[in-house]
Structure 1
Amino acid sequence: MGDSRFSVLSADFAAAPYQYFARLREQSPVHYEPAIDSYFLSRHQDVKRVLTDHEAFTTETLQVRAEPVMRGPVLAQMTGAEHTAKRSIVVRGFTGQALQDQIRAIHTNAAELLAPFLPQGRVDLVHDFGRPLAVHVTLDVLGLDRKDWRQVTTWLGGVGEFITSIALAPERRRHCLDCAEQLEAYLVPVIEQRRRHPGADLISTLCTAEFDGIAMSNRDVTALVINVLVAAVEPADKTLALLFKHLIDHPEQLAQLRENPALLPAAIAETLRYTPPVQLIPRQAGKDAVFAGTVVPAGATVFCMIGAANRDPDAFTAPESFDIHRPDLGTARSFTAAAQHLAFGTGLHQCVGAAFARAEIETVAAMLLPLLDQVRYSPGFHYRETGLYTRGPASLCLDFTPVHDG
Structure 2
Amino acid sequence: MSVADTGFSILSEDFGAAPHRYFAHLRERAPVHHEPAIDSYFLSRHEDVKRVLTDHDAFTTETLQVRAAPVMRGPVLAQMTGAEHAVKRRIVVRAFTGPALADQIRTVQATAAELMAPLLARGRMDLVNDFGKPFAIQVTLALLGLDRRDRHKVSAWHSGVAEFVTSLTLTPERRRHCMDCAEQLEAYLLPVIEQRRRDPGDDLISKLCTAEFDGVAMSDRDVTALIINVLVAAAEPADKTLALLFKHLIDHPEQLAQVRRDPDLLAAAIAETLRYTPPVQLIPRQAEEDSTFAGTTVPAGATVFCMVGAANRDPDAFTAPDTFDIHRPDLGTARSFTAAAQHLSFGAGLHQCVGTAFARAEIETVAAMLLPVLDQVRYSPGFRYQEAGLYTRGPLSLALDFTPVH
Fold shared by both chains (TM-score > 0.5): yes
2:291 corresponding residue in structure 1: 289
1:19 corresponding residue in structure 2: 21
Query: 1:5-404, aligned counterparts within 5 Å?
Result: 5-404=7-406
Letter of the structure 2 residue corresponding to residue 299 of structure 1: G
Shift of 1:164: 0.7
What are the Cα deviations for residues 141-197 of structure 1, in whole angstroms up to 9, with x where unaligned?
Answer: 110000111100100111011001111111111110000000000000000000000
Shift of 1:272: 0.1
Partners of 1:71 and 1:195 in 2: how far apart? 19
Shift of 1:263: 0.3
Aligned length: 404
Report SS of the residue matched to 1:334: helix
Letter of the structure 2 residue corresponding to residue 296 of structure 1: V
Letter of the structure 2 residue corresponding to residue 227 of structure 1: N
Partners of 1:8 and 1:335 in 2: how far apart? 29
Partners of 1:275 and 1:13 in 2: how far apart? 15
Partners of 1:215 and 1:330 in 2: how far apart? 41
What percent identity do the matched residue pairs reach?
79
What are the Cα deviations for residues 47-86 of structure 1, in whole angstroms up to 9, with x where unaligned?
Answer: 0000000110000000000000000000000000000000
Shift of 1:2: 6.1
Letter of the structure 1 residue corresponding to residue 272 of structure 2: E
Report SS of the residue matched to 1:343: coil
Shift of 1:96: 1.1
Letter of the structure 1 residue corresponding to residue 112 of structure 2: A
Letter of the structure 2 residue corresponding to residue 192 of structure 1: E
Shift of 1:238: 0.1
What are the Cα deviations for residues 193-221 of structure 1, in whole angstroms up to 9, with x where unaligned?
Answer: 00000000000000001111110011000
Letter of the structure 1 residue corresponding to residue 378 of structure 2: R
Letter of the structure 2 residue corresponding to residue 149 of structure 1: R
Partners of 2:363 and 2:67 in 1: how far apart? 28
Q: Which runs of 4+ in 1 moved over 2 A?
A: 1-5
Partners of 1:120 and 1:159 in 2: how far apart? 34
Partners of 2:174 and 2:7 in 1: how far apart? 27
Letter of the structure 1 residue corresponding to residue 99 of structure 2: Q
Change (3 A) 1:267 1:4: closer
Shift of 1:4: 5.2
Shift of 1:336: 0.9
Report SS of the residue matched to 2:337: coil
Report SS of the residue matched to 1:109: helix
Q: Identify the range of structure 1 (333-342 vs 239-248) with the bigger mean alpha-carbon deviation.
A: 333-342
Q: Which runs of no fewer than 5 residues in structure 2 stay unpaired? A: none
Shift of 1:128: 0.3
Partners of 1:345 and 1:395 in 2: how far apart? 26
Partners of 2:323 and 2:4 in 1: how far apart? 26
Partners of 1:337 and 1:133 in 2: how far apart? 27
Task: Note the aligned Cα RMSD (angstroms).
Answer: 0.9
What are the Cα deviations for residues 330-366 of structure 1, in whole angstroms up to 9, with x where unaligned?
Answer: 1101111110000000000000111111110000000
TM-score, normalisation: structure 1: 0.99
Partners of 2:16 and 2:252 in 1: how far apart? 25
Partners of 1:189 and 1:64 in 2: how far apart? 27
What are the Cα deviations for residues 300-345 of structure 1, in whole angstroms up to 9, with x where unaligned?
Answer: 0000000000000000000000000010001101111110000000
Letter of the structure 2 residue corresponding to residue 288 of structure 1: D
Partners of 1:126 and 1:15 in 2: how far apart? 19
Shift of 1:5: 4.0
Letter of the structure 2 residue corresponding to residue 27 of structure 1: R
TM-score, normalisation: structure 2: 0.99
Letter of the structure 2 residue corresponding to residue 139 of structure 1: L
Partners of 2:399 and 2:181 in 1: how far apart? 29
Q: Which runs of no fewer than 5 residues in structure 1 stay unpaired? A: none
